[in-house]
């Protein structure tokens, strides 16, 4: 089984491990990944190299029409998603009209499905941009990635295409004053001849210290569940081990969810 891309602006609803019944929104090209990370575990595959031919992003109007049509259809059929989720083929906050699209989505949600939450899954690299931060403060679930609190692991794990440090990420996440959900993917294995493991005692201690600074409303812990682009050298972390990590987070007074 290979990696895959979402081929529509609106997809699902699908059953999500973490979010329940999720109606997905892809603000990125339907034929390639568009991201400033190239995570070794990403189900969408590798991020194309800079200079590769770019594909158009869906317009604000296209997103509005697609979401309105789907929500109307679901309402007629007495169906409701638990969450409208912005994720898709890369980093959703890179869309230049992201903040306007979030405003549109809130209005459509309120009109057609007022019980549905709006979630954004982001790698947190753009959260200092005022329009992005403002939009994330409006959504119900501001879910931001922190896979490690150590620079060397972030470089190996997430393969960032932008200059970012662990300290900068942690400070930026802490600036939300608790209105943030941290998502962390744990794995072990090898990549490019290097051992990767963000479950070691040193890794976990540094990550827990970061959580103490960020004080998120929730932490979502998970591991790989689908094919990864690096060639099968990554290992899924057992649920029992994830639960053990979660117990340590909960001792900090932070709600924790585990998906294995």
| Average pLDDT, integer, range 248-253 | 97
> Could you tell me the pLDDT band of residue 81, with boundaries at 50, 70 and 90?
very high
Residue 51 Rama label (left phi>0; alpha psi -120 to 50; beta): left
Is the model's pLDDT at 2 over the cut of 50?
no
Q: What is the pLDDT of residues 54-70, one digit of tens each?
A: 778 999 999 999 999 99
pLDDT category of residue 5 using cuts at 50, 70 and 90:
confident
In terms of CATH architecture, what is 10-259? Answer: Alpha-Beta Barrel (3.20)
DSSP 172-236: HHHTTTT--EEEEEEEEEEETTEEEETTSHHHHHHHHHHHHHH--SEEEEEE--S--TT-S-EEE
Domain locations along the chain: 10-259
Specify whether the CB–CB gap between 90 and 34 falls below 8 A. Answer: yes
Is 182 a residue whose pLDDT tops 90?
yes
Confidence band of 100 (pLDDT split at 50, 70, 90): very high
Give the Cα separation of 12 and 167 in Å (integer). Answer: 36
Beta partners for 83? Answer: 22, 117
Q: For residue 232, is pLDDT > 80?
A: no
Question: Is the full-model pTM beyond 0.85?
Answer: yes
Query: What distance lies between CA 20 and its chain's CA centroid?
Result: 15
């Amino acid at each position: 089984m290979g990696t895959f891309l979402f081929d529509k602006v609106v997809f699902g609803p699908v059953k999500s491990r973490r979010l329940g019944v999720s109606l997905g929104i892809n603000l990125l090209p339907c034929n390639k990944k568009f991201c400033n990370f190239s995570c070794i575990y990403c189900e969408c595959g590798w991020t194309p190299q800079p200079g590769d031919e770019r594909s158009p992003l869906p317009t604000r109007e296209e997103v509005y029409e697609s979401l309105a049509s789907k929500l109307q259809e679901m309402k007629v059929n007495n169906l409701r998603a638990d969450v409208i989720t912005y994720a898709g083929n890369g980093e959703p906050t890179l869309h230049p009209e992201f903040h306007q699209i979030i405003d549109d989505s809130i209005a459509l949600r309120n009109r057609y499905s007022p019980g549905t939450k709006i979630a954004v899954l982001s790698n947190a690299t753009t959260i200092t941009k005022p329009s992005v931060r403002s939009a994330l403060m409006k959504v119900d679930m501001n879910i931001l990635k922190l896979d490690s609190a150590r620079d060397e692991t972030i470089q190996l794990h997430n393969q960032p295409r932008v200059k970012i440090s662990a300290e900068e990420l942690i400070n930026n996440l802490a600036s939300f004053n608790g209105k943030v959900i941290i998502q962390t993917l744990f794995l072990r294995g090898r990549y490019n001849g290097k051992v990767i493991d963000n479950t070691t005692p040193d890794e976990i201690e540094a990550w827990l210290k970061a959580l103490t600074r960020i004080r998120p409303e929730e932490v979502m812990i998970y591991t790989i569940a689908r094919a990864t682009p690096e060639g099968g050298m990554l290992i899924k972390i057992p649920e029992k081990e994830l639960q053990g990590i979660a117990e340590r987070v909960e001792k900090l007074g932070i709600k924790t969810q585990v998906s294995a």
